[in-house]
Amino acid sequence: MKFPDLSMSTPVRLRDLIRQIRSAKTAAEERAVVQKECAYIRDSFRDEDNTWRCRNVAKLLYVSLLGYPAHFGQLECLKLIASTRFTDKRIGYLGAMLLLDERQDIHVLITNSLKNDLNHSNQYITGLALCALGSICSPEMSRDLGGEVERLMKSTNPYLKKKAVLCAVRIIRKVPEQFDVFQNSVRSLLTEKNHGVLLTATALVIEMCQQNTHALQSFRKLVPNLVRILKTLIMSGYSPEHDVSGISDPFLQVHLLRLLRILGRNDSEASEAMNDILAQVSTNTENSKNVGNAILYETVLTIMDIKSESGLRVLAVNILGRFLLNNDKNIRYVALNTLLRVVHVDQNAVQRHRATIVECLKDADVSIKRRAMELCFALINPNNIRTMTNEMLEFLGTCETEFKADCTSNMFLAMERFAPSKRWHVDQMIKVLTTAGNSVRDDIVSSLIGIISSSSDLHGYTARQLYKIIRNDITQQPLVQVGSWTLGEFGDLFVNGQYEQPHGEEHIQVTENEITDILERVLNWSISTVVTREYAINALMKLSTRFPNCSDRIQSIMTYYACNMNLELQTRAVEYTSLFTKHNLIRPSIVERMPVLISNSSSNPNANEQQEQIYQEENPSNDAQINHVPPNEPVDLLKLLDEPIQTNGSIHPHEQQQNPLSSNPLTDLLFGDDTSHNHLNNNIIPPMVALDKNGLRIVFTFEREDTLLTIHSKATNATQYPITNFIFKAAVPKTFTIELYPPNSTIIPANNSGEIHQIIKILNPNKDKLRMRIKLNYLFNNSSMGDEAELNTFPEQCYN
């Protein structure tokens, strides 16, 4: 292969260089060729060779395409731009666009050349300058050249006009202050006949609307114009210059629809103007070709985003349904994507297509599977939970690993919300854990444990089911973790047969030793993860009291593990050993059965009525801890009432304190409305003084609607010092449900000049006598004060 002779005056031509590079057989050879040529180019740049500069820069651009560094050519590009020849300028601007960007300091040097070229008589040179400006301009360049660009936007030449408009888009992005400069010219742009200019003008308007909401308002007036343009496009017959597969200028149609979408969002007036044209586009566009589908897709997106009428929405969902049945993968993907957005707004419409969506789960394409999975979860409701769970289990069995974690978490959430019965829930979750293997997330394990512990009638049953699976297979870590915990807690129920026998299944009789065997196996197996072994060792400890016969055996296991290499296991083993030896007396109380674990409250209508509170209780962290102290003793407040409040998934009452939220003015507005509306009802139930002590006076006024009692609490301060950091807590007996709304402030000004207003809602389904215990904390005269009161004297009309 002949290499270029360096002594020759004419440098090698671009295509010869390309041939040489392509004929190189190894990467090293290619690198050698390129480096030699680059060295030559660098030399010739240093020699300031004018004639062949453009050829050298062209070669340099090719080399940079392959990935080699080419930054030494930047200055040469500037010189080429400054030359008068068209060829030089062309290569120079191309080089500038490819090699320069804002981070280099050199790029400001082309500002001057740009300015000259923007005023050039030759439209192509001006076009080149605009192109370069649109690609690499920086804020300083935008400020300098913004005026020129605006002038070009008004020129009569459409070639320049459209380029100038896109330049303006970039300038607005870089320097938002230049916005006003371009805003005025936009209107005239939209009346242009040239489609290219219209296309770029819509892009500019979209960009402006996204940046500035004020502009958005003013552009809404343009909606009739846009509708008209769109209409002409659809109605006009065949026009050869704009035709693509029988549809005239689909790109412009799509862009106009997009702009209409942005303008119509959240605005009913604009949306109304668009309704007709959207219906027309949907019905007239033929969907046999890709191009038509693109337009229909954009129309559907627009219909969904604006405040369209319901008939139009139904039309849109039907179009999406048709898309789903199409064979082309792209269209199905796009349809699934959009349906995902629709389903949050209108679930029923999408339910009709549930069968097709479930079919898509079996598709070979990964993107479609993921979309279909997300959509399926969004479609689950109490009616179809059973069928859907079966489908999802089937999917879980066959899907790729990357889906499994998401799938299991979603299934768990869905079941938590809609499970028809606890037993079904536990069964299905066990199935999920068996199918998903090791890809289940950790929080699912603890949530499942929470569910098991809260369903007290299922303890023995769950232990049995889990035992059945684990005795054959201990490879699946999450399952084994849940199993170990359950067997540890409730193994004795299982052994004693204190559980509901499942129908049609064999009766398993198991001894204490067998259960201890399994747990020991899990503990000793080297493939179990550390977390699983921690679960197992805790479970064994719990069983030491529940199975007195195995107590010695368990003690020897603990002693054995006291020398284990793993620090966590060793610590636990040592502590447990000491429990056996030195503190044997307290061992039973420490490992006694745990009280019900409280998980995140979720809205399950089949369970007991939940309370909606402002704070959510955190999941008790990893229950496999050494200190088996029952979490979060119910607070004093309720013990004083002598009735435990229900803890089943509810929030602890000491969490019922509120902090003033920032939405105070809003709540004031709402509360204000409430009080004005129900004046009449107020007169029926007399108000009550809840507390009147040390100048602090709290008065309750009542409104009642059947079982819902709304109490308006007003706290005033008759002393001469203001009261700050006022916190009000309330508790009611078990059969009531209480809801405390945030107060309008925590400061009560002095001398009765202001008050704190707070709303309390109490649900009384059993119509019991209302009792309430209140507790106050506040700062008065720089000292913190507290007060408590029990209120038994509610007027009878509150609850009878």
Partner 1 sequence: MIKAILVFNTRGQPRAIRFFESCSTELQQKLIRESYQIISKRDINACNFVEYNDNKLIYRQYATLYFVFVIDSSESEYDIYELIHIFVQCLDQYFENVCELDLIFHSDKVNHILNEFFMGGFIVERSPDLILNDIRTQIRLERQDSGVLKQMGSKIKSVVDTKTEKMKLDVEKKFDIKL
- Interface map 312-331 toward partner 1 (x if CB under 8 A): -----------------xx-
Q: How far apart are CA 703 and CA 685, in angstroms?
A: 7
Of 103, 344, 582, 679, which lies in the binding site for partner 1, with binding defined by CB under 8 A? 103
Output the CA torsion 29→30→32→37 (10° steps).
Answer: 150
Output the CA torsion 738→418→503→474 (10° steps).
Answer: -100
Q: How far apart are CA 432 and CA 442, in angstroms?
A: 14
First to last CA, the chain: 105
User: Would you say 56 or 486 has its CB closer to partner 1?
Assistant: 56
Stretch that binds partner 1, among 159-167, 459-467, 501-509, 743-751 (CB under 8 A): 159-167
What part of residues 185-214 is at the interface with partner 1 (CB under 8 A)?
A: 195-196, 199-200, 203
Q: Does 244 bind partner 1 (CB under 8 A)?
A: yes
Q: Which two tokens stand for residue 55?
A: 């050829």
Q: How far apart are CA 279 and CA 282, in angstroms?
A: 5
User: Would you say 122 or 501 has its CB closer to partner 1?
Assistant: 122
Of 276, 365, 592, 692, which lies in the binding site for partner 1, with binding defined by CB under 8 A? 365
Q: How many residues bind partner 1 (CB under 8 A)?
A: 69
Q: Does 364 bind partner 1 (CB under 8 A)?
A: yes
Q: Supply the minimum distance, in Å, between the C-beta of residue 162 and partner 1.
A: 6
Q: What is the DSSP letter of 751?
A: T
Of 77, 94, 223, 493, which lies in the binding site for partner 1, with binding defined by CB under 8 A? 94
The residues pairing with 688 across neighbouring beta strands, listed in sequence order, are 700
Stretch that binds partner 1, among 57-65, 399-407, 475-483, 682-690 (CB under 8 A): 57-65
Coil, helix or strand for 781? Answer: coil
Q: Does 251 bind partner 1 (CB under 8 A)?
A: yes
Q: How far apart are CA 169 and CA 151, in angstroms?
A: 15
Give Cα 85 distance to the centre of its chain. 55
Coil, helix or strand for 273? Answer: helix
Q: Supply the minimum distance, in Å, between the C-beta of residue 115 and partner 1.
A: 19
Q: Supply the minimum distance, in Å, between the C-beta of residue 53 and partner 1.
A: 14
In 3D space, the residue among 795, 702, 695 whose CA is nearest the CA of residue 755 turns out to be 695
Coil, helix or strand for 467? Answer: helix
In 3D space, the residue among 439, 357, 431, 426 whose CA is nearest the CA of residue 399 turns out to be 439
Q: Supply the minimum distance, in Å, between the C-beta of residue 134 and partner 1.
A: 4
User: Would you say 240 or 605 has its CB closer to partner 1?
Assistant: 240
User: Would you say 28 or 565 has its CB closer to partner 1?
Assistant: 28
User: Would you say 253 or 462 has its CB closer to partner 1?
Assistant: 253
The residues pairing with 709 across neighbouring beta strands, listed in sequence order, are 704, 762
Q: Does 40 bind partner 1 (CB under 8 A)?
A: no
Of 4, 14, 521, 745, which lies in the binding site for partner 1, with binding defined by CB under 8 A? 14
What part of residues 660-719 is at the interface with partner 1 (CB under 8 A)?
A: none
- Interface map 116-155 toward partner 1 (x if CB under 8 A): ------x-x--xx-xx--xxx-------------------
Count the Cβ atoms, other than its own, within 10 Å of residue 736: 20
Helix ranges, 642-783 (H): 664-677, 679-684
Output the CA torsion 401→406→409→413 (10° steps).
Answer: -140
Q: Supply the minimum distance, in Å, between the C-beta of residue 392 and partner 1.
A: 22
Q: What is the DSSP letter of 496?
A: T
| Burial annotation 437-446 (CB, 10 A radius, 16+ → b, else e) | bebbbeebbb
Q: How far apart are CA 281 and CA 292, in angstroms?
A: 10
Q: Which two tokens stand for residue 738?
A: 């209480």
Stretch that binds partner 1, among 248-256, 519-527, 556-564, 627-635 (CB under 8 A): 248-256
Q: Does 18 bind partner 1 (CB under 8 A)?
A: yes
Angle in degrees, CA 561, 566, 569, rounded to 5: 50
- Interface map 257-296 toward partner 1 (x if CB under 8 A): -x-------------------------------xx-xx--
Q: Supply the minimum distance, in Å, between the C-beta of residue 66 and partner 1.
A: 7
Contact footprint for partner 1 (CB under 8 A): 14-15, 18, 22, 58, 61-62, 64-67, 69, 85-87, 90-91, 94, 97-98, 101-103, 122, 124, 127-128, 130-131, 134-136, 159, 162-163, 166-167, 169-170, 195-196, 199-200, 203, 241-242, 244, 249-251, 254, 258, 290-291, 293-294, 297-298, 301, 329-330, 332-334, 364-368
